[in-house]
Chains A and B, each alone.
Chain A
Amino acid sequence: MRKLSFLNKTILYALLVAGSVFCLFPILWMLRTSIIEMGELFQNPPKLLPSHWYMDNFKQALSAYPFGRFFMNSAIITGGAVAGVLLTSSICAYSFSRMEWPGRDKVFGFILTGLMIPFFVVMIPQFVFWKSLHLTDTFVPLIAPAWFGGGVFNIFLLRQFFMSIPRELDEAAKVDGCSHFRIYWQIILPIGKQALIVVGLLTFLTNWNDYLGPLAFITSEKNYTLMQGLTLFQGSYTAQWNLMMAATSVIVIPSLLVFLIAQRYFIEGIAMTGIKG
């Protein structure tokens, strides 16, 4: 690619830095507020950094509600969903990419329409369905869908990847008498590891960050997820922004860590969704 002129480069950097400030500042301000003492909270002019790190906010915020429990609830739901998605979306993607059956692509095209259907359209019948099974206010409604293919988006992503694996591999295995399940388990899955990581990470975030699902299906406080716990907090600590930001930080940090560790996969994963051309 051609080198940019000095002026263009300066403007470019200025715009990128401005954009970065817009993206980063709220997160930094959250972290900053979470370690500030109540007395300094409304100080005018505000100090950029607190005079000392007041870590007590975290202790106070986390003991105000059973955050440990909320954390466990979120972890169980997220873990259950990630396991389900990895297993079922990959086996479905195998069928739609490595197996030949009449109508395969038509059926897949039909299922793809599911990408467009808002959860809000099916939310009420789903609630009625789980209610009739007496499973509302449990984690089942939040985990079960992940065990049924785990969302078309994930299957789409894996299918894209599986299709790029040379067919000679499983054809040779088939000649050797391998069953489809063995080909899937011992050949395709190991090769598709990278794509599975992407799916796992995206599923982690979707479920960890989910607000609407728990709000619709979970009612009693002992089953609340972290996101619900946060709003609970908001209701009663309206002016204590330092405590609120401490609680928020605790909720954000797992997502932040996952991203920092695996950022390459995220951006590639989004870019991989088939809009390359």
Chain B
Amino acid sequence: MKTEWTIPRTLSRHKSANVRKKRPKDLVYGLLFASPVLLGYLIFVIIPIFVTIFLSFTKYNVGKPPEFIGLDNYKNLFSGADPFFYPAVKATVYYVGVSVPLGIILSFFAAILLNQNIRGRTIFRSIFYLPVIIPLAASSMVWLWLLQPDFGIVNYALQTLHLPTSKWLGETASVIPTLILFSFWTLGNTIVIFLAGLQGIPSHLYEAIEIDGGNSFHKLIYVTIPMSSPIIFFNTVIAFINGFQTFVQPAVMTQGGPSNASLLYVLYLFNEGFKFSRMGSASSISVLLFLVVIVFTVVLFAFSKSLVYYEGQGSKK
């Protein structure tokens, strides 16, 4: 079984030799063919963003028309009048700040292991990827069962090994670390992207280190990490953006508890909008999330030119 994507090499070579001319007459058909996504982007993304910004300045609970209240929603959040905002921010920063860097290190390490020339590596790759395809709502339930304080198999195993047990999701101090542990279970996507990157590193670089008498550690420090730096960076930014949107795990496992210790930002946002139907206030919470994501996106796009490479384009790289 091959893991390399099988775009026939000969085909892409033909392509780059091809001379391209401008054909502006395709504009109408081009736009027509692209119209589903252009319309979709407008209807489901662009307009909603402006509506969110507008609603964030209103008091709105769907039943009645929105009532303009200026910056009151934001004042409520920042002044602490809303008792959930700061706990949610704190829990999210804690969760994202720890799970993302650790997750990147772990998945990079796992990708290096899975890239070694050993028997059965395709099977190992599939196993490491497998958790990604399990519905999160389902795996959250499974982990809830594994981590039951009294009857869970994890505590049982720890007990047998005379190791300290934990209440896991049941205690304010351990709930976020437990969610972080769970986040490692679904690193498959990140691992596979790293793996694709590792496979693109030319082997003569490693051979050069060998000729100079370097060991595996030197290879890691002088070739693997520098050559993977764009992907490390890419994965890190994506992981942060995804981390901020962690919803299903706390929604299914803890409902934000105990005492709001796992009230991650988007769960708080969802509750505010859909449970308490305070859509205006929820919109201001969305706007703040949006601002954070914009900052990360701008950073990513500033670097993206050196990150993304189109195979068929015959570009410089």
A residues bordering B, Cβ < 8 Å? 1-4, 8-9, 12-13, 15-16, 19-20, 22-24, 26-27, 29-30, 33, 41-42, 44-46, 88-89, 91-92, 94-97, 99-102, 104, 107, 111, 113-114, 116-129, 131, 145, 147-150, 152, 155, 160-161, 163-168, 180, 184, 194, 205, 208-209, 211-212, 215-216, 227, 230-231, 234, 241, 244-245, 248, 251-252, 255-256, 258-259, 263-264, 266-268, 270-277
* B151 CB–A CB distance under 8 Å: yes
In the complex, which residue of chain A has the Cβ closest to the Cβ of B245? A118
Which B residues touch A267, using CB under 8 A? 3, 125-126, 129, 192
Which B residues touch A4, using CB under 8 A? 116-118
Starting from the known contacts A12-B116, A122-B48, 12 additional A-B residue pairs (CB-CB under 8 Å) come to A16-B124, A26-B142, A29-B142, A97-B312, A117-B45, A148-B36, A180-B29, A205-B133, A248-B141, A255-B135, A264-B3, A276-B196
User: Bound complex: CA of A44 vs CA of B151, how far in Å?
Assistant: 9
Which B residues touch A121, using CB under 8 A? 48-49, 52, 286-287, 289-290, 293
* B76 CB–A CB distance under 8 Å: no
In the complex, which residue of chain A has the Cβ closest to the Cβ of B269? A120
User: Bound complex: CA of A217 vs CA of B125, how far in Å?
Assistant: 36
B residues bordering A, Cβ < 8 Å? 1-7, 11-12, 14-15, 18, 20-24, 26-27, 29-34, 36-41, 43-45, 47-49, 51-52, 55, 62, 110, 113-114, 116-118, 124-131, 133-139, 141-143, 145-146, 148, 151, 153, 156, 160, 184-185, 189, 192-193, 195-197, 199-200, 203, 210, 216, 230-231, 234, 241, 244-245, 247-248, 251-252, 266, 269-270, 273-274, 279, 282-283, 286-287, 289-290, 293, 296-297, 300-301, 307-313, 317
B7 and A161 within 8 A (CB) = yes
User: Bound complex: CA of A68 vs CA of B127, how far in Å?
Assistant: 30
The 10 closest A-B pairs by CB, nearest first: A148-B40, A149-B37, A101-B30, A163-B312, A95-B33, A125-B48, A271-B196, A122-B48, A125-B51, A209-B135
A104 and B30 within 8 A (CB) = yes
A170 CB, min distance to chain B CBs, angstroms: 11
B36 and A147 within 8 A (CB) = yes
B271 CB, min distance to chain A CBs, angstroms: 11
In the complex, which residue of chain B has the Cβ closest to the Cβ of A48? B153
A118 and B244 within 8 A (CB) = yes
B135 and A211 within 8 A (CB) = yes
In the complex, which residue of chain A has the Cβ closest to the Cβ of B115? A1
Contact with A166, one of B15, B33, B136, B310 (Cβ below 8 angstroms): B15
B193 and A271 within 8 A (CB) = yes
A116 CB, min distance to chain B CBs, angstroms: 4
Contact with A100, one of B5, B15, B30, B31 (Cβ below 8 angstroms): B30
Which B residues touch A277, using CB under 8 A? 197, 200, 230, 309, 317
B11 and A20 within 8 A (CB) = no
B133 and A148 within 8 A (CB) = no
Contact of A129 with B48 at beta-carbon distance under 8 Å, contacts A101-B24, A118-B289, A118-B290 already known: yes
Q: Indicate the member of B110, B279, B311 with the most A CB atoms within 10 Å.
A: B311
In the complex, which residue of chain A has the Cβ closest to the Cβ of B124? A16
B145 and A241 within 8 A (CB) = yes
A131 CB, min distance to chain B CBs, angstroms: 6
